[in-house]
Chain A
Amino acid sequence: MALLEIDAVDAFYGDFQALFGLTLAVDEGHAVAVIGANGAGKSTLLKAVAGSVPTRSGCVRFDGTNLADVLSHRRVAAGISLVPEGRRIFNSLSVEENLRVGAFCERPGPWTLPKVYENFPMLERLAKRSAAKLSGGEQQALAIGRALMNNPRLLLLDEVSLGLAPAIVKSLYAVLPNIRQEGTTVLIVEQDVNQALAASDMAYCLLEGKVSLSGRASELSRAAISAAYFGSEVHT
């Protein structure tokens, strides 16, 4: 059984429908990439899993449990952590306090303050600094570290690369193997297709709120991805 099952889900922002009968599954221990153009519904998908966007029909199941009536803060306690788009760092807290807030649910597991610092050494140097004073890359590292402090079973990464220099993106993705080594399942939403495919086992491409392509990340052809990404006709 898959750790996360999304079954024919419709999701809305007010009257605007963002997901149309979306179906996908993520197996435990896997890293799955969700790629697609702006507005394809990638972030909405993650928000529907985290509980900050309601689903109207269909079903989101985590470890076999239907999440329909589970409030977002309870989903975190169940082991779903979202690294949100735009990082959403707590600006009036220090770096270390941000990380400690991440451990609010006190879920047991391998991720502790020293282990996060070991993986993101720059955060240790900045521990006492106000999080508002961090650079974009440092804030993104903090957002990932903060989510790891929950010891999640499922880590949702939303646009980690957004607005960051390629070298910084590379250094952030370099931590992913260490995260997966602890058995954490990862769902990656990215606009940077190469980065996303390189980091994952499975990939789904979204187009206008539906899955337009899925398969093993290593086996998808550039032509098929390009067609699924932009919605153009393709004959293979």
Chain B
Amino acid sequence: MNWIQAAISGVLLGGLYALYATGLSLSFGVMRLINLAHGDLAVMAAFLSSTLVLSFGGSPFWTILVLMPVGFGVGVLLQKVVFDRLVGVDPAFQIVATFGLSIVIQNALLKVYTADRRALDIGPLKTKAFKIAEVSIGLFPLLRFVVAVLVLVSLSLFLGRTSTGRAFRATSDDPEAARLMGINSRAIYMIASGIAVSTVFLAGIFSGAQTNFASSDGPGLLIFAFEAVIIGGLGSLWGTLAGGIALGLAQTLGAEQFTDWPAQLFGHVLFLIVLAVRPNGLFGRAEA
């Protein structure tokens, strides 16, 4: 029964990882951009949420309604100021520029919020659970998982069914040909970055409600997001969900078997195995 319990926890944890990875997957899919400051943006969102709660009271959940649009704006701004210069050039520039951005955000957070750890208080919901047979399912992890799936479903409907979504995919295939269809690729990139930061803001708030956070946590979160994207396959949204779940399962099942070892280790091992055996990921396109 412990194994089933661990598996369910792993799947639910995978929802959070998928939420972290969604923006990374979208940015890479649409403009081949890897933003190394992705995790720091999540931490920033958790701090902003805590500031809002301390100033206006209430539960952190209402801050999502404010911070997701703010995240969209931050994404658009970052695209205009930083990322636009990195699209279509040597990837080395992306690494250097977004790594620099990561350091800037970490130090800004350190300056404003000091090095103390904080947590978002969601009250009794954090520990509420219900039992099916002998397996206990946490209400909050379940909620988080459902939200992650909803985000991925709506994003996938947006890309698959709307005119702007088609323009996203056309731009991803061939930005110059997309411009010949009247598509403003710069506007598409801005929307993509807006959605990417907005979803990682959501992930940051959900994560901050589960575990406490500090200004230097970003790079650690980036690794989970990065691993979920690679395991699932670059540029595939459903792959990203599968990758998140696989990462979560590896951690909880690994920790169940080897109780003395840190859970994260098993996620990293799975990541390395996938990279060695199936470098395109579980659902990646062969040519990607």
Chain A contacts to B: CB under 8 angstroms: 50-52, 71-74, 76-77, 81-82, 84, 88-93, 97, 100-102, 104-105, 146, 150
In the complex the two chains form, what is the Cα distance from A150 to B174 in whole Å?
18
State which residues 149-200 of B face A: CB under 8 Å. 163, 166-167, 169-170, 172-174, 176-185
Asked if B167 and A50 make an inter-chain contact with CB atoms under 8 angstroms apart, the answer reads no
Asked if B180 and A82 make an inter-chain contact with CB atoms under 8 angstroms apart, the answer reads yes
Specify which of A71, A74, A102 is in contact with B181 (CB 8 Å cutoff). Answer: A102
Asked if B172 and A72 make an inter-chain contact with CB atoms under 8 angstroms apart, the answer reads no
In the complex the two chains form, what is the Cα distance from A81 to B180 in whole Å?
7
Chain A residue contacts of B177, Cβ below 8 A: 84, 88-90
In the complex the two chains form, what is the Cα distance from A145 to B177 in whole Å?
14
Chain A residue contacts of B180, Cβ below 8 A: 50, 52, 72, 76, 81-82, 84, 88
Asked if A90 and B184 make an inter-chain contact with CB atoms under 8 angstroms apart, the answer reads no
In the complex the two chains form, what is the Cα distance from A105 to B163 in whole Å?
10
Complex: chain A residue closest to B176, CB-CB? A52
Specify which of A82, A92, A146 is in contact with B173 (CB 8 Å cutoff). Answer: A92
Specify which of A73, A81, A89, A91 is in contact with B183 (CB 8 Å cutoff). Answer: A73
Chain A residue contacts of B173, Cβ below 8 A: 90-93
Specify which of A77, A90, A97 is in contact with B174 (CB 8 Å cutoff). Answer: A90
In the complex the two chains form, what is the Cα distance from A188 to B185 in whole Å?
27
What are 8 inter-chain pairs, A to B, with CB distance below 8 A? A73-B183, A97-B166, A100-B163, A101-B170, A101-B181, A104-B166, A146-B181, A150-B182
Chain A residue contacts of B166, Cβ below 8 A: 93, 97, 100-101, 104
Chain B residue contacts of A105, Cβ below 8 A: 181-182
Asked if A88 and B174 make an inter-chain contact with CB atoms under 8 angstroms apart, the answer reads yes
Asked if B183 and A104 make an inter-chain contact with CB atoms under 8 angstroms apart, the answer reads yes
Complex: chain A residue closest to B177, CB-CB? A88
In the complex the two chains form, what is the Cα distance from A91 to B173 in whole Å?
7
Chain A residue contacts of B182, Cβ below 8 A: 73-74, 76-77, 104-105, 150
In the complex the two chains form, what is the Cα distance from A171 to B167 in whole Å?
30
- Excluding A81-B180, A105-B182, 4 further A-B contacts by CB distance (< 8 Å) are A71-B179, A71-B184, A73-B183, A88-B180
Asked if A90 and B176 make an inter-chain contact with CB atoms under 8 angstroms apart, the answer reads no
Complex: chain B residue closest to A87, CB-CB? B177
9 tightest Cβ-Cβ pairs between the two chains A and B: A76-B182, A88-B177, A105-B182, A90-B173, A90-B170, A72-B179, A101-B170, A73-B184, A73-B179
How far, in Å, is B72 (CB) from chain A's closest CB? 22
In the complex the two chains form, what is the Cα distance from A84 to B181 in whole Å?
11
In the complex the two chains form, what is the Cα distance from A104 to B167 in whole Å?
8
Asked if A92 and B169 make an inter-chain contact with CB atoms under 8 angstroms apart, the answer reads yes
How far, in Å, is A100 (CB) from chain B's closest CB? 6
In the complex the two chains form, what is the Cα distance from A214 to B99 in whole Å?
57
In the complex the two chains form, what is the Cα distance from A105 to B183 in whole Å?
8
How far, in Å, is B187 (CB) from chain A's closest CB? 9
Chain B residue contacts of A77, Cβ below 8 A: 182
Complex: chain A residue closest to B182, CB-CB? A76
In the complex the two chains form, what is the Cα distance from A91 to B181 in whole Å?
15
In the complex the two chains form, what is the Cα distance from A91 to B174 in whole Å?
9
